[in-house]
Structure 1
Amino acid sequence: MSQPTIHATSPSNVPAKEASGPWRDAWRAFRKNKTAMLGLGIILFFVMIALLAPWIAPYDYKEQELVNRLKPPSAQHWLGTDDLGRDLFSRLIYGARISLWVGFFSVIGSMIAGTILGVLAGFYGKWIDMLISRMFDILLAFPSILLAIAIVAILGPSLQNALYAIAIVNIPTYGRLVRAKVLSLRTEEYITAARAIGMKDSRILITHILPNSLTPIIVQGTLGIAHAIIEAAALGFLGLGAQPPDPEWGKILSDSRQFIQKAPWTVIFPGLSIMLTVLGFNLIGDGLRDVLDPRMKK
């Protein structure tokens, strides 16, 4: 009686299983979102030109040529010149550095402060929660841009003070978001078990609470960068942000508003730069929300 033939499968013929994990799976899902990848491409473009500004810019952004003032776009000046004869293309490239710098670091500052306050309020509750929540309510009682203007007016007009003001007015946004998340997490069974085995509060916060609170912070932080860039442009437009000759996009718009009919390119190109950057961060934020928020998953 013949024995059945057993065919051994070569390991090389077995398809390798792709590594899995929460962040890897999120990245794979994010890559499938075409609008989110478009936003990522826009932001990477502006980040690259900001980093490579000294090598890309054809002129010094501070160089004035009054004989070439308000020249339209040409082969010599791709995006034209402003009222002082400065190359607008070079100023917009260096302006990307300022706007992205303000957006990133103001959001990082407000995220850190808001997360700390939100965790303390949500985890410990009682009078700590009441005190921090009332502070958030006071800050939220004022329109953010008006509060930012008041802070800069007190500290003095400068780009650094504008960054501080934007960070301060956005602290309640992250604080309340984290507080709500912590309130829901502290009643979970694994938190109760951690307390039962004698785990210290500090270790519970670092090991369990913070990692599980990252998702809404990341999504809100991405959207917050776009909002911070708009606020920085608004403060610059009012003369409370970057000071001359720094080429911040809002300041460029402010300096060019009187030439909107005579030289519209001086307003159109910085306005487009702000719009595209904000659009890019909003697309990324929406994509991250769809990927990381369980309620958005099908």
Structure 2
Amino acid sequence: MTGVPTARPASAALTALWRLTLAGLLVCLVGLLPWLSRTDPALTVLKARSAERDPTPEALAAVRDQLGLDAGPFRLLGDWLGALAQGDAGHSWISGSAVLPAVGQALGVSLLLMAGAMAVALGTAAAVCARPLWLGARRRLGSPRAGGTAAMFAALPEFLTASVLATVVGVQLGWLPALGWYGPRWMVLPSLALGLPAGALLGRLLADALPGVLAQPWASAAAARGLSGSRVARQALRHCVPGLLPNLGLFVTGLTGGAVAVEQIFDIPGLGRLTLEAATAQDLPVLQAGTLALVLLAGVAGGLGRAAARLLLGPALRDGAVQSPPRPVPPGRRTAPLVYGALLVAVVAFGLARDPLGLDTAARLAAPSWEHPFGTDALGRDVLARVAHGALGTLAVALAVSAAALVAGVLLGLVPRVSGAVVDTVNAVPPVLAGLLVAGIAGSGPATPALAVAAVAWAPLAAHAAALLERERAATHITATRALGASEAYVLRRELLPAVVPPVLRHALLRLPGVALALAALGFLGLGAQPPSPEWGLLLAENLPYAERAPWSVLAPAAVLALLGALAVTAAGGVRLPRSVRGRGRGWRARTDVPTPRRRPEPGHHATKE
């Protein structure tokens, strides 16, 4: 029986060693952060302990002597790793308390928040996919796709959603507590803020695969036999879910370490906030222990996701008997992308004619009018002009980062044994911490957010590509193609890549608003452009304190972000490879690198020349 060889113990040991090496390199890089940023860690620690204390040479010398900074970063790192091997992560440089209990408590809070956010995300994903799954399973309406409403949820910034929920639901209506972490009621609003965008994106990824699955012959045969729509729907989900489980593991880690802004808004003592505060104060023992906890969590979540995918596929993955993965259904007339694109272009074009820096103190926080269609901000600047001028830079950078992430994700997804550990390790780094590391190495500036987001944006695409590639390699038609003598280069070029690239490309388009949001979040936290730049993250950060008094100053940029999300999602549904590069259905036996078996003449007949 021809199949995919199982992993040998030596291969598993090498993979584990590779993962440990990557985790060690990340922790070492974090430990060098103060020296990479060319700042005096003694001064930073002194200011973090007491902002009013005068940094005299004697005070700085006392801090250096207490922390052993004169020994150098490598000596400090070696001492910390040696103590960690004995179960001691040291003491905080700021508070003096033991690190392990603080990190463990913060990790528990983050895991509880992650559980609530995942419940919201799974419910949202189910709501997004319910209609196309049910109607497609009953063979109605040509297996419709989910609409653009999910795109708008996915495009809403988490920090903006958190601020609106805290202000409206928590403060104005008083339905739920808006600050603190004291019980289940305090979980609701932050779980909604984190789970709604993640669930909308997860639902869109699932809805993208459903039409191709429901168009396969087995679905038609099931309908002809009179099977119920619920049974067909369950089988369709069984076909789609394995390719998404590795990304679900990435969502788990992202909801834990990437919830920094939400934890700050709701005053939640989670691991993401603890890591950010330690990075800002250069509290290395806490920062290193928090980063190591995130790496371990990412490894566990990624491993469970891959194991669950193999469990769902069963022995067919081992034996090379997986059914052919779904092929995209050709889209019909798609007017939604044109409408969303025209609206976005109109907003940008109309706002470019205005001055984004012009001040009008007599019109501070003015409501929308004919003169100022989006209103004005706290300095009397036209919000429409700032949104439009900020769109040029934000969209250009987001497109460039998404393109680089797509190329890196596909290339690294082709070598999953190498990239699997890298994906888990990179995904453990929150974008904020990545921004701090990039700022420490390359210096802060307008390019810092782009470099930071590009360093982590490829990981979900690589995980998706690796999952699709593993399943495609085990498909029966690949086994048959190899049995007929096709070379590995031919199989890769004409079979594997045409099956992997289109869904990963659509995935990259679905994540385009997320890239813009990550850039905006770094700007919101002060790691991006500086005033008076109209960059979207900075624009939201400047206007957020006035959201209750002048909601238009925040809702207008959020609406444009939602419009970008709707455009990306609806356009992603029409992404297909040109027919000239599709391998299947083009008579591959005509290729010179694949031998064509000769037919033997039947008995009693003479063979004729071709």
Q: Is the shorter-chain TM-score for this pair beyond 0.5, marking a shared fold? A: yes
Indicate which of 397, 408, 411 corresponds to 1:116: 411
**In structure 2, C-alpha distance between the alignment counterparts of 1:40 and 1:148, rounded to whole Å:** 36
Superposition deviation, residue 274 in structure 1: 2.1
Distance 1:213 1:97, change over 3 A: same
Write out per-residue CA displacement over residues 157-211 of structure 1, whole angstroms, 9 at most, x where no aligned residue.
43422122222212121112111222233341365258x35x463x553343322
Secondary structure, aligned partner of 1:213: helix
Please state how far the C-alpha of 1:132 moved relative to its aligned partner: 2.1
CA contact (8 A) 1:114 1:174 kept: yes
User: Is 1:150 the equivalent of 2:436?
Assistant: yes
Alignment of 1:5-16 (within 5 A): none
1:48-88 Cα distance to aligned partner (Å, 9 max, x none)? 544x36xx534221223344433332332222222232211
Distance 1:270 1:227 in 2: 15
Alpha-carbon contact 2:367-2:374 (below 8 Å) kept: yes
Contact between 2:529 and 2:538, CA under 8 Å: does it hold in 1? Answer: yes
Distance 1:252 1:26 in 2: 40
Secondary structure, aligned partner of 1:257 = helix
Q: Is the 8 A contact 1:77 1:89 kept in 2?
A: yes
The offset of 1:224, in angstroms, is: 0.8
Give 1:162-177 correspondences, 5 Å limit.
Answer: 162-177=449-464
- Equivalents in 2 of 1:192, 1:47: separation in Å? 49
Residue range with higher mean Cα deviation, 111-120 or 253-262:
253-262
More deviation in 158-167 or 248-257?
A: 158-167
Aligned partner of 1:4 in structure 2 is none
- Residues 86 and 225 (structure 1), Cα distance of their counterparts in 2 relative to 1, 3 Å cut: same
Equivalent pair of 2:405/2:454 in contact (CA under 8 Å):
yes
Question: What is the aligned partner in structure 2 of residue 65 from structure 1?
Answer: 360
CA spacing shift, 1:114–1:205, aligned 2, 3 Å: same
The answer to whether residue 511 in structure 2 is matched with residue 224 in structure 1 is yes
Please give the alpha-carbon distance, in whole angstroms, between the structure 1 residues aligned to 2:403 and 2:488: 27
1:75-154 to 2 correspondences below 5 Å: 75-121=370-416, 129=417, 131-142=418-429, 144-154=430-440
CA distance 1:39–1:77, change in 2 (3 Å): same
Runs of 4+ displaced beyond 6 Å: none
Tell me the equivalent position of 1:245: 532
- Name the structure 2 match of 1:46: 344
> Which residue type is aligned with residue 276 of structure 1?
L
Structure 1 distance, partners of 2:524, 2:409, is: 27
Question: Residues 64 and 236 of structure 1: is their aligned pair in 2 closer, same or farther, counting only changes over 3 Å?
Answer: same
Tell whether the 8 Å contact from 1:43 to 1:281 is kept in structure 2 after alignment. Answer: no
Could you tell me which amino acid in structure 2 is paired with residue 192 of structure 1? Answer: R
Ranges in structure 2 where 5+ consecutive residues have no aligned partner? 1-326, 576-610
CA distance in 1, matches of 2:437, 2:483: 45
Q: 1:48 to 1:102 in 2, by over 3 A?
A: farther
- Alignment RMSD: 3.0
Which one has more relative contact order, counting CA pairs under 8 Å at least 6 apart? 1
What amino acid sits opposite 1:112 in the alignment? V
Q: Can you list the C-alpha shifts for 1:2-52, whole angstroms capped at 9, x where unaligned? A: xxxxxxxxxxxxxxxxxxxxx996232x63xxxxx43552244214544x3
The 1:163/1:193 distance shift into structure 2, 3 A limit, reads farther
Which amino acid counterpart does residue 57 of structure 1 have in structure 2?
Answer: L
The structural deviation recorded for 1:106 is 1.5
User: Are 1:160 and 2:464 counterparts?
Assistant: no
Partner SS state of residue 239, structure 1: coil
- Measured in 2, the distance between the counterparts of 1:266 and 1:216 equals 36
Within the candidate set 502, 523, 538, 1:236 is matched to 523
For 2:328 and 2:547, how far apart are their aligned partners in 1?
48
- Partners of 2:341 and 2:482 lie apart in 1 by 42
Larger Rg: 2
**1:165 and 1:266, CA in 2 relative to 1: closer, same or farther beyond 3 A?**
same
Measure, in 1, the Cα distance between the counterparts of 2:559 and 2:462: 32
Cα pair 1:249 1:274 within 8 Å, conserved: no
Q: Aligned residue pairs: how many?
A: 245
In 2, Cα distance between equivalents of 1:148 and 1:140: 10
Q: Are 2:189 and 1:189 aligned? A: no
Q: Match for residue 129 of structure 2?
A: none
* Structure 1: 5+ residue stretches without partners: 1-22, 32-36, 122-128, 290-298
Give the Cα separation in 2 of the matches to 1:116 and 1:47.
33
DSSP-derived class of the 2:330 partner: helix
CA distance in 1, matches of 2:411, 2:514: 21
Distance in structure 2 (CA, Å) of the matches to 1:265 and 1:49: 15
Q: Which amino acid aligns with 1:98?
A: G
Match of 2:331 in 1: 27
Deviation at 1:233, TM superposition (A): 1.7
**Structure 1 residue 225 displacement after superposition:** 0.7
The alignment's TM-score, normalised by the length of structure 1, stands at 0.70
Q: Is the contact between residue 70 and residue 85 of structure 1 (CA under 8 Å) also seen in structure 2?
A: yes
How many Å separate the matches in 2 of 1:211 and 1:48?
35
Letter matched to residue 482 of structure 2: T
Given that 1:40 and 1:281 are in contact with CA atoms closer than 8 Å, whether structure 2 keeps it comes out as no
Aligned residue for 1:93, secondary structure, equals helix
Equivalent pair of 2:410/2:501 in contact (CA under 8 Å) = no
Whole-Å separation in 1 of the counterparts to 2:504 and 2:356: 36
Describe the superposition over 1:214-237 as per-residue Cα deviations: whole angstroms up to 9, x where unpaired: 222122112111211221221121
Aligned 8 A contact 1:46 1:96 in 2 = no
Q: Distance in 2 between matches of 1:262 and 1:175?
A: 43
Counterpart in the other structure of 2:553? 266
The normalised TM-score by structure 2 is 0.36
Judged with a 3 Å threshold, the aligned counterparts in structure 2 of structure 1 residues 68 and 193 are, in CA distance, closer, same or farther, namely same
Q: Match for 2:465: what amino acid? A: V
Task: Write the letter of the residue equivalent to 1:27.
Answer: P
Preserved contact between residue 372 and residue 383 of structure 2 (Cα < 8 Å): yes
Q: 1:106 to 1:191 in 2, by over 3 A?
A: farther
